[in-house]
């Protein structure tokens, strides 16, 4: 059983989270964005198979993930709904459903000091999925994850379970002492 608790403040959590995304994602910080949106992280990858020349493409697949990081002192039902809508609306604008588009994940990450039970319930019950042309042009899945100060877990919706593992790896790792040889 994990008894570690997240003891960092919201700013420290945000900075640690951004550092962990920087290796693979393009990061847009909140200079022009309205609070509580702190950053948007974009990941895009394209795979393809060719025969002799690049013009002779057998297949291609594009995969994308857009992560919207929100930070608030208290996550309420009203704030959750507004942030979920913003992440969904902005993320959908970035999707280009066409042949070769495999999937896009839109992820809303909420960093807070406290969270109302109603907001946590909404976050966990969030089920947004969209198929494009019967999945021939890919799909979109909406993930949520909550990072609450002092908590020992990371609640997510059903689609966001991998995000909980990712957050545990970032924030709950014990500092292992190096063994002397």
Domain boundaries, the chain: 10-171
Write down the pLDDT at residue 180. 54
The partner residues of 64 in beta bridges, in order of sequence, read 44, 104
pLDDT of residue 1: 46
Give the separation between CA 14 and CA 134, rounded to whole angstroms: 37
Q: What is d(CA 172, CA 155) in angstroms, rounded to the nearest whole number?
A: 14
pLDDT at residue 45, as a whole number: 94
User: Terminus-to-terminus CA distance in the chain, angstroms?
Assistant: 30
Q: CA dihedral in degrees (62, 90, 159, 175; nearest 10)?
A: 90
Residue numbers of the chain with a pLDDT score lower than 50: 1, 181
Backbone angles phi, psi at 121, to 5 degrees: -65, -45
Residue-level pLDDT at 58: 79
Q: What is the pLDDT of residues 83-134, one digit of tens each?
A: 999 999 999 999 999 888 999 999 999 999 999 999 999 999 999 999 998 8
pLDDT at 41: 97
Region of 34 (left: φ > 0; alpha: ψ -120 to 50; beta: rest) is beta
Provide the 10 A C-beta neighbour count for residue 52: 6
Going from the C-alpha of 157 to that of each of 8, 12, 78, 179, the distances in angstroms are 23, 24, 18, 39
Determine the pLDDT at residue 146: 98
Q: How many other β-carbons are positioned within 10 Å of the β-carbon of residue 136? A: 11
Q: Smallest Cα–Cα separation from 71: which of 131, 9, 159?
A: 9
What is the rounded distance in angstroms from the CA atom of residue 16 to the CA atom of residue 10? 10
Cβ-based neighbour number of residue 74 at 10 Å = 11
């Amino acid at each position: 059983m994990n008894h570690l608790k997240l003891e960092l403040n919201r700013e420290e959590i945000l900075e640690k989270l951004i550092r962990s995304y920087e290796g693979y994602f393009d990061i847009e910080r909140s200079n022009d964005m309205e609070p509580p949106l702190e950053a948007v992280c974009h990941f895009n990858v394209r795979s393809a198979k060719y025969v002799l020349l690049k013009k002779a493409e057998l297949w291609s697949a594009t995969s994308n993930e857009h992560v919207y990081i929100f930070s608030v002192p208290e996550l309420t039902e009203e704030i959750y709904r507004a942030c979920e809508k913003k992440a969904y609306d902005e993320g959908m604008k970035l999707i280009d459903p066409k042949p070769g588009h495999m999937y896009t994940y839109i992820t809303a990450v909420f960093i807070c000091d406290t969270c109302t039970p109603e907001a946590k319930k909404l976050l966990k019950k969030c089920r947004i999925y969209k198929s494009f042309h019967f999945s021939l042009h890919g799909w979109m899945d909406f993930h949520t994850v909550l990072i609450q100060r002092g908590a020992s877990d990371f609640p997510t919706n059903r689609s966001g379970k991998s995000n909980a593992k990712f957050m545990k790896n970032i924030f709950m790792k014990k500092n292992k002492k190096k063994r002397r040889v």
